[in-house]
Amino acid sequence: MEIKIPEVGESVREALLAKWFKSNGAAVAKDDPLCEIETDKITLDLNADVAGVLSIAVAEGTTVAVGTVIGSIVEAAASPQAPAIDTSSQLVEKLAEPASSPALRREMLERDISPDEVTGTGKGGRITLDDLFARIEERSKQPPASRPVTPPVKPAVTPAIQEAPASAMLQPAVAAPAPPTVVQEARPTAVRTEDAPLYAAGREERRPMSPIRKRIAERLVAARQQTAMLTTFNEADLTRVKELRGSQREHFMQRHGIALGFMPFFVKACVEALKEFPNVNASIDGDDIVLHNFYDIGIAIGGEKGLVVPVLRNADRMKLYEIEQAIAAFSEKIKTNRLAIADLQGGTFSISNGGVYGSMLSTPILNPPQSAVLGMHAIQDRPVVRDGQIVARPMMYLALSYDHRLIDGREAVGFLKKVKEYIEEPEELLLEG
């Protein structure tokens, strides 16, 4: 049975074969994870559809087109075949690569070290910086007699200090006036120990960007270059939300089997505010403004490969527990590399919670083509004035980044104030589940 790179979305054309979990020729059971692939949108595992012996055809680190056969499973009843070897031009080029980089070759030349003296430990026997420094250290420990001896160069003698011929010693002392003595200031000479490294080993490391990281970088740059992004700020008192969570904690857990967090409150608050400020839920398409009459809310979740934004569909119809359960399901999918392209597509508005990492204040970046994103931050007790008294309250800074081409400052500020009001008075609108 062939193992192919699956189609994971209309816009995905290639994938990086990041890792094989099994070695070539290993026995695998049905549903065993075989390998991890990365696209510019998601990371996912490919599992075995049948039991048998794994035959690997494409090496780790290779980027291949969707539909490419990367290996096969010889089922137990069939005789195992020799593993196919990838002879693509990509691998041939790797084999033809020089044994060291130009910078390392130049460094070896300056130090009079032949590549034959250095044992390469890099991929395919390539010489790394650590290998060069290991050889330098090895040479420094050798006794001087065993080192290559370069014959000293006889210094050139200038006429001013040239030794006089013997015949000149017999001439009278009054022959000619001696030339004036020129005293030159000694110039500092750079002292270089022959085997001292120019820089310490291991200070830098290069690694290629993963497809996901490349895509994130492209989208972040596009958001800056293609929108008129601006951010407005406010802060919310979470006293009532915390009281509701405390009073409903046991009931919520018993009834729905999950703890109630803060995010469902903000999702519901944003949905209600979006209904009052429809431009915040809109997008720009060419010269048109597209008003969305539905509320698909993207929730930014951090994973090992970077930040992804799965989408809550029709969030206006969801109860608090349904939002909490959906977010938990997304988090589990991200951890196990089971997030699908469909989970990430669309979205009319996004929420990012930097508070889980301890962020006090930030300016969240837009997720095009969406026109706005809400940034949540850490909850911290701060002194505020209530009824003429200074009291401590659990406060959170809120940030709304928006595309000023579509959303006026008045609308952005009004939207954020409305979110603040719903969070500070959550009973009427938020306590539905």
| Positions marked catalytic | 404, 408
In the three-class reduction of DSSP (H, G, I as helix; E, B as strand; rest coil), residue 419 is classed as helix
Q: Cis omega (within 30 of 0) on the bond before 33?
A: no
- Beta-carbon contacts of 268 under 8 Å, excluding residues fewer than 6 positions away, are 315, 320, 323, 422, 429, 430, 432
Please write down the long-range contacts of 152-159, taking CB distance under 8 Å and 24 or more positions apart.
none
* Contact criterion met (CB below 8 Å) for 136 and 197: yes
Strand order in the sheet with 43-47: 43-47, 33-38, 14-20, 62-65
The β-bridge relationship of strands 349-353 and 297-299 is parallel
Nearest alpha carbon to residue 407 among 292, 311, 284, 268? 284
- Beta-carbon contacts of 53 under 8 Å, excluding residues fewer than 6 positions away, are 25, 26, 27, 28, 73, 74, 76, 80
Please provide the DSSP assignment of 350-380 as one string.
EEEEGGGGT-S---PPP-TTBSEEEEE---E
Give CA angle at 357 (355, 359), nearest 5°.
55
- Beta-carbon contacts of 101 under 8 Å, excluding residues fewer than 6 positions away, are none
In the three-class reduction of DSSP (H, G, I as helix; E, B as strand; rest coil), residue 389 is classed as strand
**220-229 per-residue burial string, b: 16 or more CB within 10 A, e: under 16:** eeebeeebeb
Tokens 């890099």, residue?
Answer: 122
